[in-house]
């Protein structure tokens, strides 16, 4: 499969799952726009590395995923630079762990904005061009938490359930336009996001770091292994292929069996 002549926008892609997805799409020949926060020198290293390694064009947008106008400008930048946005991967996400009664309302608003609303705003901006060209792939990173709940993660679980519903609705709207819309629901992937929530979970559950990893995180995954970022990225690449053109509105679990129970 080749994505040569195609272009992709991947939000939340300066590290972790998003960066792996951007690199996997570039490996298949797609130009990519990466987005996210981080040290400018680290981001530039990744951007330049993608261009050098895969021979594609890679650009960076620092668009804030809580700002609809900046999201629209990001899509416009990719369309202007590449000529099109053929693949949109909504991957931006943050996490916060707290009992509901002490969950900060500003954290709720931030998580819903970044993990859910940003996907709507990006789709809203990208769909007209995809419709005009009669081809598109919209893929969102959901989570096993789009299918099951967990305590102390009310905003994250609500947002990821929302991504699953948004995926179904938009898939039906675009079913006759050559555009597929799917989401991927990973289990626990070893990323900076997962690592950063360990201290809060230790505090909330009064557990050691090792107990959180083995008894909380991996307890849910029958394989007892973390999902890798490369495994998630491979599913994205498949969903962009012609072999997956009849797959739309799907929520694909990559969770080591977590949601099979």
Active-site residue list:
156
Residue at token pair 């994505």: 3
Q: Write b or e for each residue in 183-214: b if 16 or more Cβ atoms lie within 10 A of its Cβ, otherwise e.
A: bbbbbbbebeebeebbeebbebeebeeeebbe
Q: How many CB atoms lie within 10 A of CB 69?
A: 10
- Surface-to-core class of residue 124, CB atoms within 10 Å of its CB (0-12 exposed, 13-18 middle, 19+ buried): middle
Say if residues 86 and 31 touch (Cβ distance below 8 Å). no
Crossing angle of the two packed helices 68-82 and 118-133, in degrees rounded to 10: 30
Say if residues 96 and 107 touch (Cβ distance below 8 Å). yes
Say if residues 126 and 78 touch (Cβ distance below 8 Å). no
Rounded Cα distance, 131 and 246, in Å = 17
Q: How many CB atoms lie within 10 A of CB 238?
A: 13
Q: How many CB atoms lie within 10 A of CB 41?
A: 7
Rounded Cα distance, 70 and 66, in Å = 8
């Amino acid at each position: 499969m080749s994505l040569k002549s195609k272009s992709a926008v991947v939000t939340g892609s300066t590290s972790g799952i998003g960066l792996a997805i951007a690199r996997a799409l570039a490996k298949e020949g797609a130009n990519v726009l990466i987005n996210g926060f981080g040290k400018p020198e680290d981001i530039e290293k990744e951007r330049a590395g993608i261009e050098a390694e895969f021979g594609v064009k890679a650009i960076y947008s620092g668009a804030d995923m809580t700002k609809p106008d900046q999201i629209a400008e990001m899509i416009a930048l990719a369309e202007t630079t590449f000529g099109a946005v053929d693949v949109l991967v909504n991957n931006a996400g943050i996490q916060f762990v707290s009992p509901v009664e002490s969950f900060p309302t500003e954290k709720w608003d931030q998580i819903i904005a970044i993990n859910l609303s940003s996907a709507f705003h990006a789709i809203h901006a990208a769909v007209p061009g995809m419709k005009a060209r009669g081809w598109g792939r919209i893929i969102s990173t959901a989570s096993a938490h789009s299918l099951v709940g967990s305590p102390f993660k009310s905003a994250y679980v609500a947002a990821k359930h929302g991504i699953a519903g948004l995926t179904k609705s938009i898939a039906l709207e675009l079913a006759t336009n050559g555009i597929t819309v799917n989401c991927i629901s990973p289990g626990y992937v070893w990323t900076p996001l997962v690592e950063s929530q360990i201290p809060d979970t230790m505090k909330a559950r009064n557990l050691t770091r090792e107990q959180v990893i083995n008894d909380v995180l991996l307890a849910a995954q029958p394989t007892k292994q973390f999902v890798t970022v490369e495994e998630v990225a491979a599913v994205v690449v498949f969903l962009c292929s012609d072999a997956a053109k009849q797959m739309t509105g799907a929520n694909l679990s990559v969770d080591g069996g977590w949601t099979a129970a």
